[in-house]
Chains A and B, each alone.
Chain A
């Protein structure tokens, strides 16, 4: 099959989902009202609650949710062939991700912009909120550990990406100075910043850098991982205007350019898919497609992390309730398109089936490296860039995604450590909390050996934890809809499917970890399994109570009556 055809079908399906299904959800299920006073207007404070233009808000939302996961997940999952990954990404985006993200926005907007954690306390019970903290801690831990390994592997396999990766930090530092110290025009600085970033890619392409195979007896990828954690630790303590803010901004611009380049070259190259639609010849040790596919691709199909962003910041900035359709659903569409691009790059970007099979020689092999090489080959054919330059562009893109998520992740983990300290009546300083956050993630990364394989081994666990988070959000949505006596089918069917696959996958993995005597992962798996069963029991209980008519959404009733008073 031709990759252009697949891209066109995929994009058409996802866009049809936006134009048709999201309209149904907006009008019939969530019943978004243009006149509802959103928290951004009701509680305007110029800080958190600020009515924001929907296109700008979509940009924030999309760049916040798009990390390395929509690339890593599909790039690993195509080992079962491109068709299962394609179907899960498209159908998942249309019927699950869009519904979930838009629903999380709606739920939060209807509750004064509260986060999913606070909502779980209200709709599912106090235990739901505790569960939320455990899940969020694990999720951040996994993101930090796994992304460090992904970046280290990329820096080794694509040495040309080393200069642009670290150079991007210098560019970000200069942008921060230019805007805050010298008050230069933002548009001009942005253009110069993006040009400088791509100039660094050109320099990196002609000056590849790599570490010696071992440094003081430590293998090179372990050295990169340590360097990355030191960087993330420092970045998480620095003032945000100095590094994180300009870095996230330039990465956001780069994301739009990267997506454009990738899809443009797919259209121009017109490659055939070399990988099989269904891979019947999977390498030994590959787990079965069901249920692992559904947890391997989380971001790009459905992801609980999106609910955290939607209810954490986006909902407080939503200008009109009806904008939730564009910001939430179309945000998921952007993520789905990124995942689709990753599927095409990792299956159409090889010369022959044998080439593809040699890269995908074992489960968790290939991955992002396949995305970089395969995508590089497509960009070479489509845009005429040299293969190494295209690979450098894509590797830099993947590294920047992962690195911006990782440094923010370490920062968030520091807050979690400090909050946990407060709960235990201990004051944990900024430095100590950062050291704890980094040390725990490092311990996990090197838990399975000095090669850092622990970081990626836990990647399937990221999927299950993330899907559990999504299950929790869907449970809240179902309770809210039941209390309003509306249909819950569009929410409950995906929830049942998601939780069933997550629990199934957790059991499968439990067996694998036991056989491999991997006690660290076994314990983590058990914690998530207990949490998953907990979510299910709590959600069923809450839904039953809601079905019996217990509980009303007081605040909403209050607002409705106030607006009635106002109109009369």
Chain B
């Protein structure tokens, strides 16, 4: 790395560093909201966008697992999503 690249990287770290945790928390909240939207039908909430969101389900297994453990549920609350049986 040239000195300018190192300086630039340091500057970036100086900008983002103090708020890393806050951003991570905001991102997590956003993800949880997104998750709820995608899974709303399974949860019994009518979802007008289910035609689009259904395609996303297969790629969300890991995230569903993280989400329900974060919510304090040891096992997946959804019958269709047995990510940790």
Contacts and interface: CB of A to CB of B under 8 A. Distances in A.
A47 B8 CA distance: 21
Given A47-B24, A239-B26, A240-B23, A186 B17 contact: no
Contact of B20 (A47, A56, A187, A248): A47
A249 B15 contact: yes
Contacts of A239: 26
B18 interface: yes
B21 A47 contact: yes
Nearest to A316: B21
Interface residue tally on A, bucketed by range: 20 to 34
Interface string B8-49: 101111110111111110100000000000000000000000
Contacts of A317: 17
Given A186-B8, A187-B8, A239-B26, A252 B20 contact: no
B17 A52 contact: yes
A286 interface: no
A190 B20 CA distance: 19
A240 B13 contact: no
Contact of A48 (B12, B15, B21, B26): B21
Nearest to A246: B15
Given A313-B18, A317-B17, A241 B10 contact: no
A245 B19 contact: yes
A56 B13 contact: yes
A56 B14 contact: yes
Contacts of B7: 187
B14 A252 contact: yes
Interface in A207-249: 239-241, 244-245, 248-249
A61 B66 CA distance: 33
Contacts of B11: 186-187, 190
A179 B19 CA distance: 14
B3 to A, nearest CB: 13
A56 B14 CA distance: 6
A59 B14 contact: yes
Interface string B36-71: 000000000000000000000000000000000000
Interface string A161-205: 000000000000000000100000011001000000000000000
A2 interface: no
Interface of B, secondary structure class, is helix
A50 B15 contact: no
Contacts of A278: none
A178 B14 CA distance: 17
A249 B14 contact: yes
B34 to A, nearest CB: 17
Contacts, number: 51
Nearest to A55: B10
Contact of A52 (B13, B21, B24): B13
Contacts of B19: 240-241, 244-245
A153 interface: no
A243 B30 CA distance: 19
B21 to A, nearest CB: 5
Contacts of A240: 19, 22-23, 26
A245 B18 contact: yes
A46 B21 CA distance: 9
Given A47-B24, A48-B20, A48-B21, A53 B10 contact: yes
Nearest to B13: A56
A185 to B, nearest CB: 8
A466 B22 CA distance: 26
A60 interface: yes
B8 A60 contact: no
A240 B21 CA distance: 11
B64 to A, nearest CB: 21
Interface string A262-283: 0000000000000000000000
A481 B11 CA distance: 37
A248 B19 CA distance: 10
A53 to B, nearest CB: 6
A245 B10 contact: no
Given A56-B10, A187-B8, A245 B20 contact: no
A49 to B, nearest CB: 10
A64 interface: yes
A60 B18 contact: yes
Contacts of B21: 47-48
A187 B20 CA distance: 19
B13 A245 contact: no
B12 A64 contact: no
A247 to B, nearest CB: 11
A317 B21 CA distance: 12
Contacts of A179: 15
B81 to A, nearest CB: 25
Contact of A186 (B12, B20, B24): B12
Interface in A65-116: none
A241 B24 CA distance: 12
Nearest to B4: A187
A190 B11 CA distance: 9
20 contacts: A46-B24, A47-B20, A48-B20, A50-B17, A52-B13, A53-B13, A56-B13, A64-B18, A186-B8, A187-B11, A190-B11, A240-B19, A241-B19, A245-B18, A248-B18, A249-B14, A249-B15, A252-B14, A313-B18, A317-B17
Top 6 A-B residue pairs of the complex, sorted by shortest distance between their CB atoms: A47-B24, A56-B13, A245-B19, A240-B22, A249-B15, A56-B10
Given A60-B17, A190-B15, A249-B15, 4 more contacts: A48-B20, A57-B17, A64-B18, A186-B8
Interface of A: 46-48, 50, 52-53, 55-57, 59-60, 64, 179, 186-187, 190, 239-241, 244-245, 248-249, 252, 313, 317
